[in-house]
Amino acid sequence: MANTNKGRKFYIAVTSPGGSIPAPQSAPLNKSQFEALNWTEVGNAGSIGESGTQTNLPSYDELATEVTQKQKGISNAGDPPVEVARNPTDLGQIAMRAAGKTKFQYAFKTEDNDAPDANSTNSIYYNRGVVTGPTRPNGRNEDFILEIYTLGLNQLEIVVDPEALVVATNVGLPTITGASLAQAAVLTAHEGMWTGNPTSFTYQWQADTSGNGTFVNIGSATGKTYTLAAGQSGDAVRVGVVAVNPAGASAVAYSLPVGLVGA
107-166 pLDDT, tens per residue? 999 999 999 988 888 999 999 999 999 999 999 999 999 999 999 999 999 999 998 888
Structural domains of the chain, with CATH? 9-160 (4.10.410), 169-254 (2.60.40.10)
Which pLDDT value is given to residue 262? 53
Please compute the mean of the pLDDT values over residues 174-185 and round it to a whole number: 83
pLDDT at 11: 98
Report d(CA 97, CA 99) in Å as an integer.
5
Q: What is the pLDDT of residues 29-55, one digit of tens each?
A: 999 999 989 899 999 999 999 999 999
Whole-number Å distance between alpha carbons of 4 and 176? 42
Does position 233 have pLDDT exceeding 80, yes or no? Answer: no
pLDDT at residue 216, as a whole number: 94
pLDDT score of 54: 93
Gyration radius (Cα) of the chain, Å: 24
